[in-house]
Amino acid sequence: MTCLLGIRDLFGYNWYCRRKFLKSLAEIPWGTVVESCGASFDSIRDIFVHSLQVEHFWIRRLGGKSTEGIYEIPFTKFADVKAIQEYADKVEAETNEYLDTLTAKKLDSMFEYKGRDGKINRYRIEDILMHIVEEEIHHRGEILCLYWQHDIRPPYTSYTAYKDQA
């Protein structure tokens, strides 16, 4: 079982990495950011925004708020790094608001929802939060690979560097 502080720390680390990548995205040509790359989503921008959408969707779902339209927002709406940054700030604020409501008991409680297939799913809230973190790490790895394919040096995002800054 992960403790509440561990969950907050993992989200903090993800946000630390996200900020570093946003800074990096602003320093490379926009054409590279939106170039079709044949990964899980069409471009670096699309992968990055998808990760934000996943966090936004799950945090809103866990918090009992509407998730309507989150995945319908076209990636092209994010026409520059500033637009992505504004969305990232919104998602981080909502996530912090939700995390502030957590207790150890709530973290260990079961959450039930209807999946896209109509099936009822039940998971501990902690497991759903870990899924959000893992999803971002997975897609950050994809973005790292795309940076390397373009001979772009990715930002340094080690966990220990994150801990050193605290």
Domain 4-165: CATH superfamily, name plus number: dinb family like domain (1.20.120.450)
pTM, whole model, 2 decimals? 0.93
Dihedral over Cα of 43, 46, 48, 54: its sign:
negative
What are the pLDDT tens digits along the chain (166 aa)?
457 668 999 999 999 999 999 999 999 999 999 999 988 898 999 999 999 999 999 999 999 999 999 999 999 999 999 999 999 999 999 999 999 999 989 999 999 998 889 999 999 999 999 999 999 999 999 999 999 999 999 999 999 999 998 6
Residue at 164: amino acid letter: D
Q: Which residues 6+ apart lie within 8 Å of 103 measured at CB?
A: 4
Q: What is the pLDDT of residue 4?
A: 61
- Is residue 45 within 8 Å of 27, Cβ to Cβ? no
Give 165's DSSP letter: H
CA separation for the pair 78, 61 (Å, rounded): 23
